[in-house]
Structure 1
Amino acid sequence: MHILVVRNNSNPQAVDASLLLTAYLTSQGIEALLVDSSSLGTDQGRREVRAQLPGQLALVVVLGGDGTVLHTVHLLHDRQVPILPINFGRLGFLANADTDGVVPLVAEALAGDLRAERRSILSIEVVCEGEHDPYGEANRAGEGAAWDMPDVNAEPNAATPPSVRKPGKTDSAPWTPIPGRFGVNGRGLSGARQFFALNEAAITRGAMGRIIELTLNVSGVDVARMRGDGLVVSTATGSTAYALSAGGPLVSPGFKGMIAVPLAPHTLRSRAVVTDASDVIEVGFDDTDEFREATLFVDGDIVPFDAPLRKIYVQCAPFDVTLLRADGASFYDRISKDFFGE
């Protein structure tokens, strides 16, 4: 049996807990693989760690806050492995409290005594200026195929011009990631056009700070044209993160749809939109150059591209994430305590 332990190595308590846990697992004849969260902050780091993982994992234990949980989800991608998050961060809304220690919690998880929560994931597909749009008008009648899910273990092909690459397709040609920049997703610059998020995709103002103008379309229906700081599209899990700060609703984690929340809109009639699980959100950008400088963040990590953004398609991914909960507190108990101070 293999168990992956991901720790926030900048937190001394998390480091101590990881050493105690790995010693316990070893004494039980379980092989523990220990990974520092600092190695998961970039695509290159995650790819290197992913290559060392065994074919089967029984459990992933995360010792850190919500940020460490997000990096772990990106590391695992679509591997259906239960994740036991134990809070060694600040808010830690996704994680369990370390009340009785990490060893009893992990023992309960291995015994199957913890409650499993299945969380939706976003699939984010990007079309940059000058690229073929597989969901454009010419393809709405069934011409062409949907993008393939990318191989996150492969290296994007930096030698192929972005305008002729098929989004989601990569090969083993050499590429140059962005070195030493924690949280920067270099795959956008290298041609990848599909990404996944547990919390949200945030489309915001660019480096020049000018407002952006965008259109919001839900499953073929033009819903709104808006100007402002941008738009956040979140899962129910992400409703307690950036979307909440932007004025969005608190949504129970069992909800499988999406929440679209405008960021500082220049209108008094802007509203958050809650979608069905089968809907597709299409974000388009105005043709005027003044409003084209938009930036994409995926779960808080910036994704730079080599051309301006043209369209962004967001929908629920065909896989989800399983988080293990140790206490009997419901979602409403937790928001009452953490967000309303009751």
Structure 2
Amino acid sequence: MYMLVVRNSENPEALDASVMLQTYLMSQGIASDTIDTIDCDDYDAPACDMCVALGGDGTILRTAKLMGISGTPILGINYGHLGFLANENDAGVVATVAAALAGDTTREERANMRIEVMCAGDDEAAFDARCMAPARYDGTRCFFGLNEAAFTRGASGRIVQFDLSIGGSHIANMRGDGLVTSTATGSTAYALSAGGPLVAPGFRGLITVPVAPHSLNARAIVCDPNDVVEVAVNDAVGSNEAELFIDGLAASFEAPIAKLRISRGAAPTVLLRYKREGFYAHASKVFF
């Protein structure tokens, strides 16, 4: 068995927990590797049987990106603030990991997102062909997201203008601060703050939420699991400055964003739950 441990190196408790976990895994004859979240982007993750994420929700998001659509189960243990995605650390890191190894956890399959980007000057036919092919999460034009993709106004503060289509049907020409497209997992993050609905984690579709729309009619839309969300960007000055944030991290491009195509990932992200209360009970404590 091989296990990967991802830790928030800026959190002293997570660092201490990782040392304890390393000692335990060695005593059990389990091969493992430990990396810091700041190194995730440059790390070529090997095939592993389980990932343990030591930190808050941000650490789990980085770990999910690292694992992509491999299906590797992720056991998150909370050493952060909100910890909505992670398990509590009351039992201790060793006891929680031992429970997971013994099968005393519940698997949750969470839908993730494939975000395809076309920039000004890109070949549109090549973009269409790429969107039809299996995903290549290269971090330049194709991105993985577990929470959300936030298309927002740039540093100048000018509003953005774009056409929104869902499932091949044109929805509206929109003006405002942007658009958040999230999974059910991300519905409790940016999408919720922007006025979107709280969506149970088992839902497989996407949610689109306009951000500060300049309209009386713009509303959040809950999409069918097979729907594709497409954003075609207007060439106005503010729109040319628009930015894209995926799971809270900025994606950088050498040219303005011209089009986004967002769909559900081909395979879910698997989270392991240990002695965790139900979604609605936990949400009521955190948000109400």
With normalisation by structure 2, the TM-score equals 0.95
Identity across the alignment (%): 50
Q: Could you say which residue in structure 1 is the equivalent of 2:179?
A: 231
Give the CA deviation at 1:151. Answer: 5.9
Q: Could you say which residue in structure 2 is the equivalent of 1:193?
A: 141
Native 8 Å contact 2:78 2:87 kept in 1: yes
Q: Could you say which residue in structure 1 is the equivalent of 2:52?
A: 61
Of 239, 256, 277, 1:308 maps to: 256
- Note the 1:1-342 alignment, pairs <5 A: 1-40=1-40, 43=41, 45=42, 49-50=43-44, 53-54=45-46, 56-134=47-125, 146-150=132-136, 152=138, 187=139, 192-340=140-288
Label 1:314 to 1:207 Cα distance change in 2 as closer, same or farther (>3 A).
same
CA deviation string 1:60-79 (max 9, x = no partner): 11110001111111112222
CA deviation string 1:35-92 (max 9, x = no partner): 112212xx3x2xxx21xx44x4121111100011111111122222100000000001
Give the CA deviation at 1:225. Answer: 1.4
SS in 2 for 1:203: strand
Question: Aligned residues, how many?
Answer: 288
Distance 1:16 1:151 in 2: 32
Distance 2:169 2:34 in 1: 47
Give the CA deviation at 1:277. Answer: 0.5
Distance 1:328 1:304 in 2: 37
The code of the aligned residue for 2:75 comes to L
Distance 2:101 2:199 in 1: 29
SS in 2 for 1:318: coil
Consecutive unaligned residues in structure 2, runs of 5 or more: none
SS in 2 for 1:319: coil
Label 1:2 to 1:290 Cα distance change in 2 as closer, same or farther (>3 A).
closer
Native 8 Å contact 1:134 1:145 kept in 2: no
Native 8 Å contact 1:134 1:146 kept in 2: no
Decide which structure has the larger Cα Rg and report it. Answer: 1
Consecutive unaligned residues in structure 1, runs of 5 or more: 153-186
Distance 1:15 1:63 in 2: 8
With normalisation by structure 1, the TM-score equals 0.80
Native 8 Å contact 1:134 1:147 kept in 2: no
Label 1:59 to 1:270 Cα distance change in 2 as closer, same or farther (>3 A).
same
How big is the alpha-carbon RMSD for the aligned residues of Structure 1 and Structure 2? 1.8
Label 1:333 to 1:135 Cα distance change in 2 as closer, same or farther (>3 A).
farther
Distance 2:79 2:130 in 1: 47
Distance 1:331 1:210 in 2: 38
The code of the aligned residue for 1:273 comes to I
Give the CA deviation at 1:134. Answer: 3.6
Give the CA deviation at 1:9. Answer: 1.3
The code of the aligned residue for 2:63 comes to T
CA deviation string 1:80-135 (max 9, x = no partner): 21000000000010000011111111111011110000011101111111222248
Runs of 4+ aligned residues of structure 1 deviating over 4 Å after TM superposition are none
Distance 1:144 1:226 in 2: 26
The code of the aligned residue for 1:11 comes to N
Give the CA deviation at 1:12. Answer: 1.0
